[in-house]
Structure 1
Amino acid sequence: MGDWWQRNIMEPGKLPLLLALTAFVLTFVITRVITRLIRAGKGPFGNVKAGGVHIHHVVPGVVLTVVGGFGAVAGGRHGFGSALAAVVFGVGAGLVLDEFALILHLDDVYWTEAGRKSVEVVVLTAALVGLVLAGFTPFGVDGMSQDELQDRANVIATVAGNFFFSLLALAKGKARLAIFGVIVPVIALVGAVRLARPGSPWARRFYARRPRARARARLRAYHHDRRWSGPRRVVQDWIGGRPDPQ
């Protein structure tokens, strides 16, 4: 375990990324717990106000993100300063993206249906950073054997191929499959070969003169959304809380 940690986390300089991701996830979880307690009228917490203005937590989040970002640039990749900057940045990013929907709509939509976008963005961000963190990085690792070099070269080639299929999935309007497909080959391949979603760049380019393909794409998207919208809502409600009834 110690050798793996040294070779895959410390030598490639991934410790700040790990600290930032941990701080990001913990900040989001703690923030959602506090906001749900405030919403339920429980606990000692309450909304922060100044001069009658509700100060959303995206405000300190932006400040922390800026401080942590500039601190990371100034502090380099190693040392206590870099680790501290990574934690500050992760906390700030967690606060900002928890209110991503508010920034997107320029309105307080935290507990509305539109507020679900914040949960989606946080989950996708954490997954993407986690995939980057879990990937094998050959740069900055010293003293590797020939077998280790070959293994890492194979991983890089595999990821490059998956990335190509992920780009196809993204062009077909399947962002989630595209993100996870960078690492998992089957997911990337499924997203690349299936019909594009209506309105995606691929559909606009290749289905414009194919009415049958457009009709199949709309029908498949309808059945897919109907099948998975329920479970997706359950997961989103469990993570971020149920939106207010409209």
Structure 2
Amino acid sequence: MQRNIIEPGKLPLLLALTAFVLTFLITRLVTRLIRAGKGPFGNVKAGGLHIHHVVPGVVLIVVGGFGAVASGRHGFGAAICAVLFGMGAGLVLDEFALILHLDDVYWTEEGRKSVEVVVLTAALVGLLLSGFSPFGVNDMSQEELHSRGDVISTVVVNFLFSLAVLSKGKARMAIFSVIVPLIGLIGLIRLARPGSPWARRFYRRRPRARAKSALRAYRHDRRWAGPRRKLQDLLGGKPDPVPPRAP
């Protein structure tokens, strides 16, 4: 903790990530209680206008961001600004789908994008936080320098692999392959998804590969659609049913 978090100046990042995750979880809990009509909570309105929580989120991001720039990386002020920034980011990304569609799609199928973006953001920040950075750490032995250099080299190579996996249209595998090389290796071996840059470049004159890629993507989506939907419902709540269209 002291050598890997505090000395390299990663404590504000840890505080921001913690505030980000807790704010998202608490916000989802409150909105689900409001939706169910339970608890003392309710929608915030001003003059008949529904104030979404993305609005205070933007305010917190602005205050925390500019405060962090003014206070530097160390000190109590930097910690407070990091917490404010993490809280604001959690509120804003919880309504990412609303910003993307410019519509209130919070409890719709489109609203699931918010949960996906929050999970991916937390994973990326977690990867950045868990990296063994030697910069800012003082009085390290030669063995520590060598071990940290090996770790950094491994992460760089895995990152290059993850870029190749990302070009195959597999964003989730690309993110986690940075620290788990086996995931990147699996992503490199398997066929690219249809429409990905890799497929457009290397499958253009290979109709058989294109057909196998489409079939594998269909089977993969059909197999994992159910578990992925259950996980999203657990984190963000089940979306409203789509009303039937009038004949």
Give TM-score scaled by structure 2 length.
0.97
Deviation for aligned residue 1:244: 0.5
2:125 corresponding residue in structure 1:
129
Match for 1:215: what amino acid?
A: A
Map 1:4-23 → 2, pairs under 5 A: 5-23=1-19
Determine the C-alpha separation between the residues in 1 that align with 2:137 and 2:187: 33
2:172 corresponding residue in structure 1:
176
RMSD over aligned CA atoms reads 0.7
Deviation for aligned residue 1:193: 2.2
**Count of residues paired in the alignment:** 242
Matched, 1:87 2:83: yes
Determine the C-alpha separation between the residues in 2 that align with 1:62 and 1:193: 42
Q: 179-188 vs 93-102, which deviates more?
A: 179-188
Matched, 1:141 2:137: yes
- Gaps spanning 5+ residues in structure 1: where? none
2:186 corresponding residue in structure 1:
190
Matched, 1:162 2:162: no
Determine the C-alpha separation between the residues in 2 that align with 1:104 and 1:64: 20
Determine the C-alpha separation between the residues in 2 that align with 1:190 and 1:156: 22
Matched, 1:77 2:78: no
Determine the C-alpha separation between the residues in 1 that align with 2:106 and 2:168: 29
Deviation for aligned residue 1:74: 1.1
Structure 1 counterpart of 2:96, from 96, 100, 103: 100
Alignment identity in percent? 79
Deviation for aligned residue 1:97: 0.3
Determine the C-alpha separation between the residues in 2 that align with 1:113 and 1:230: 14
Determine the C-alpha separation between the residues in 2 that align with 1:12 and 1:49: 44
Following superposition, which runs of at least 4 residues in structure 1 exceed 2 angstroms of deviation? none
1:31 corresponding residue in structure 2:
27
Determine the C-alpha separation between the residues in 2 that align with 1:205 and 1:70: 43
1:201 corresponding residue in structure 2:
197
Match for 2:180: what amino acid?
A: V
Determine the C-alpha separation between the residues in 2 that align with 1:209 and 1:71: 54
Match for 1:115: what amino acid?
A: G
Map 1:21-60 → 2, pairs under 5 A: 21-60=17-56
C-alpha distance after superposition, 1:141-166 (max 9, x if no partner): 00111110110010011001100110
* Secondary structure of 1:138 counterpart: coil
2:207 corresponding residue in structure 1:
211
Deviation for aligned residue 1:223: 0.5
Determine the C-alpha separation between the residues in 2 that align with 1:99 and 1:199: 28
Match for 2:164: what amino acid?
A: L
Match for 1:13: what amino acid?
A: G
Deviation for aligned residue 1:192: 2.0
Give TM-score scaled by structure 1 length.
0.97
Deviation for aligned residue 1:85: 0.4
Match for 1:99: what amino acid?
A: E
C-alpha distance after superposition, 1:55-103 (max 9, x if no partner): 1000110111111111111111100110000000000000000000101
Deviation for aligned residue 1:172: 0.5
Structure 1 counterpart of 2:57, from 50, 54, 61: 61
* Secondary structure of 1:242 counterpart: coil
2:245 corresponding residue in structure 1:
none
Deviation for aligned residue 1:12: 0.3
Match for 1:174: what amino acid?
A: K
